[in-house]
Chains A and B, each alone.
Chain A
Amino acid sequence: MSIPPPTGVSRDISTIVALRGVEKGFANGVRALDHLDLDVKAGEFVSVLGPSGCGKSTALRIIAGLSPPTVGAVEWPTGPVPIGFVFQEPTLMPWADVSANVRLPLKLAGDDDSTAVAQALDRVGLKNFAQSYPRELSGGMKMRTSIARALVTEPQLILMDEPFAALDEITRFKLNNDLLTLWQDLGRTVIFVTHSVFESVYLSQRIVVMTPRPGRVFTQITIDAPYPRDEHFRTSPEYGAFCRRVAEALGNAMAGGVA
């Protein structure tokens, strides 16, 4: 799906969102972000990689409109797009069952579409758990519910804030694979914040490495391995080489060195 660009705008039409010189300071004096520039193209899978405290979550919240930038701007060259957000914790309503949790965004918009809920649950493999309560689910299933909720409005842009950080490795690998399948099927844009080198290489087309305190873009690395990626890719020498490159870049970013 392509949206015609507004007339008179000469920017690359495929850019869905751009951060321009974004800075963010908090009342307690912490400077979370320092002149952050970032372009994300429609349909792209971008990971933002950095140590904890580098402001990557803050950047995501600024894109989502949950937090205003102190300086700079968020630009939407093709106009604002619907956003889905997946938090680090599943962030489910414990008093509502899975189906009601997934329905929430539609309910708030006054558009109660049960087929969309069923479809979103089906996509994340939770069709048979619609009536379960969050406390009855495993950590992985809670996160799947959270992803289904983010998908239910069919957003153009999906923001994910270290969604799998708290999961065990087996569940995490499974969710990584399922996320890639979803991304390939749906063709939506994903901005994925993580502190895991391995996860970012496995998932992304492009990795944005950030420096800590204050957060800036240190370097960007393109992962040009073809999709679909699977367990074969995860154990390939190519994957190992990418991981080494990204890990070195991250190490340099943390040491304040050069790219």
Chain B
Amino acid sequence: MSARALRLGLPIVVLALVVLCWDLLVRAFAIPPYVLPGPGLVLATLIADAGLLWRSLLVTLTLTFEGFLLAAVGGILLAIAFNQWRLVDYSLYPYAVILQVTPIVAIAPLLLIYLPQPLAVLVCAWIVAFFPVLANTTLGLNSVDHNLLALFELYKASRWQVLWNLKLPSALPQMLTGLRIAGGLSLIGAVVAEIAAGSAGAGSGLAYRIAESGYRLNIPRMFAALLLLSLAGVAIFFTLSAISYLALRRWHESAIDRER
């Protein structure tokens, strides 16, 4: 079997085995659905509650996407500012780190006091997602080949020519790595904020559905919503990986298969 077939096939085999064991376990011990619903029931709930869950998914995904976009733009612009003006770097970098190391779960309730819920969710998604973009882009901008810098200097390139023609393209692989991490994190940020808002929140996102279903002991719906969330995360990861691949396939080693 080819390596490609194994890479696709094996995870599917593992998934089938896990679902099978799960189903057998639930049947064998007659576990009630409010403790652990079987995979069939989860699937049935997913279909039965499709309309409700789909709307919730859209709410969460929209906020995730907006948070991601703001994080991408903010992280890249801030990285450029850090790279261009050392004083900005010195002044702001410590606070970027503080924002990153303070657990988002602890910040979310506070944000919910001051901001309307959708905005608080957005800010949470932004806070967790912007740092990897900032850190990776900064690394990329600072790792430019010194000889290429000398070459640009020899031809009297302006600062912006160096940024646009040399630093940004050369930082692209790291920037895309940052964006790939940020995609997953912005979903986490949005979910954390929705959970923190909890039943008190007026929101209707997917994480809010999970919290609400938990209070109502509607465990099958919790599982269904969780499944959707994790599928959303996987979709985000693959989309960003594909974008990264398309951008780098002609020139960066990470996107090129080794020939033997």
Contact = CB atoms under 8 A, between A and B. Distances in A.
Q: How large is the interface on A (under 10, 10 to 19, 20 to 34, 35 or more residues)?
A: 20 to 34
Find the residue from B150, B151, B251 having the highest chain A CB count within 10 A: B151
Interface stretch (B98-106, B153-161, B225-233): B153-161
A64 interface: yes
Given A93-B170, A94-B251, A85 B256 contact: no
Given A91-B147, A104-B165, A85 B154 contact: yes
B165 A135 contact: no
Interface string B168-179: 011010000000
Contacts of A133: 250-251
Q: How large is the interface on B (under 10, 10 to 19, 20 to 34, 35 or more residues)?
A: 20 to 34
A162 to B, nearest CB: 12
B170 A95 contact: yes
B251 A95 contact: yes
A96 B166 CA distance: 10
A256 interface: no
A87 B147 contact: yes
Contacts of A105: 155
Find the residue from A64, A83, A93, A153 having the highest chain B CB count within 10 A: A93
B145 interface: yes
A107 B154 contact: no
Nearest to B158: A108
A3 interface: no
Contact of A135 (B147, B161, B251): B251
B157 A94 contact: no
Contacts of B170: 93, 95
Nearest to A106: B155
B165 A107 contact: yes
B87 interface: no
A109 interface: yes
Nearest to B161: A108
B148 interface: yes
A109 B151 contact: no
B152 interface: yes
Contacts of A108: 152, 155-157, 161, 165
A178 interface: no
Interface string B107-149: 0000000000000000000000000000000000000010110
A108 B161 CA distance: 7
Contacts of A134: 251
Contact of A64 (B154, B165, B166, B253): B154
Contacts of B250: 95, 133
B125 to A, nearest CB: 30
Nearest to A100: B165
A108 B253 CA distance: 27
A93 B154 contact: no
A244 B154 CA distance: 37
Contact of A66 (B150, B161, B169, B251): B150
Contact of A87 (B151, B156, B166, B253): B151
Q: Shortest 4 CB-CB distances between A and B: which pairs? A: A91-B147, A108-B155, A94-B251, A108-B157
